[in-house]
Amino acid sequence: SRCGVPEVIYGPGKRPDQIVEAFELLARSQQPALATRLTPDQAEALLMAFPAATVNSLARTVSLGSLPRHERTVCVVTAGTSDRPVAEEAAETARWLGAPVELICDVGVAGPQRLLAELPRLRQAAVVVVVAGMEAALPSAVAGWVAVPVIAVPTSVGYGANFGGLAAVLSMLNSCAANVTVVNIDAGFKGGYVAGLIARPHEPMRAGN
């Protein structure tokens, strides 16, 4: 564990048995485990070895245990249906860090009433993760309604002049809202991780850690 948070296993390029082994190492030392960007084969191997593990096939994650649960909610919001897998990855990561997660889907700016209807749920959160592709207008729109940090996750969803998510990430970096901060394109894991850290009760480390 690095500084109190266990390592997370990144799937791409690893053999299924390597990932199972990594889980075993963590299990043996009583630590919660999380693996992301898994192929179906990798996920199945983990589930065979750890029948108690939680699989989220949309998120492409498998987790085993989690950090201690707390009360401060992470809200994950998506603009469109294609942004869902990235949002699920964020949600799984935040849950694994101990946070209760609220998922609010398909409230893109082109249908503005839908976001208005979700404001009560949105405003309960200690931090909001907004997942959006194309023009990525949603983080600014959400940020205008809350007084907590908004973690914007750009996605590569779209075509043409989105240039693989470039349009979305530039848009989010230029948000006119002061409470918006940004992670890499399609980085649901990072969005959920930072949100999870923000939400969880914090105690400063001592020099000895």
Ligand X SMILES: Nc1ncnc2c1ncn2[C@@H]1O[C@H](COP(=O)(O)O)[C@@H](O)[C@H]1O
Whole-angstrom Cα distance, residue 79 to residue 87?
Answer: 10
Residue type, 116: L
Stretch that binds Mg ion, among 41-49, 65-73, 130-138, 190-198 (CB under 5 A): 130-138
When the beta carbons of 36 and 78 are compared against ligand X, the nearer one is 36
Stretch that binds Mg ion, among 3-11, 22-30, 71-79, 87-95 (CB under 5 A): 71-79
Whole-angstrom Cα distance, residue 188 to residue 59?
Answer: 9
Residue 132 lies near Mg ion (rule: CB under 5 A): yes
How do 61-64 and 33-36 pair as beta strands? Answer: antiparallel
Q: Which of 125, 128, 130, 131 binds a copy of itself (CB under 8 A)?
A: 125
CB of 87 to a copy of itself, least distance (A): 14
CB of 48 to Mg ion, least distance (A): 32
Q: How far is CA 67 from the centre of its chain?
A: 15
Give the sign of the dihedral formed by CA 69, CA 73, CA 74, CA 78. Answer: positive
Residue 37 lies near ligand X (rule: CB under 6 A): yes
Footprint on residues 148-207 left by ligand X (CB under 6 A): 178, 187, 189-190
Whole-angstrom Cα distance, residue 168 to residue 49?
Answer: 39
Q: Which residues bind ligand X (CB under 6 A)?
A: 7-10, 36-37, 80-81, 178, 187, 189-190
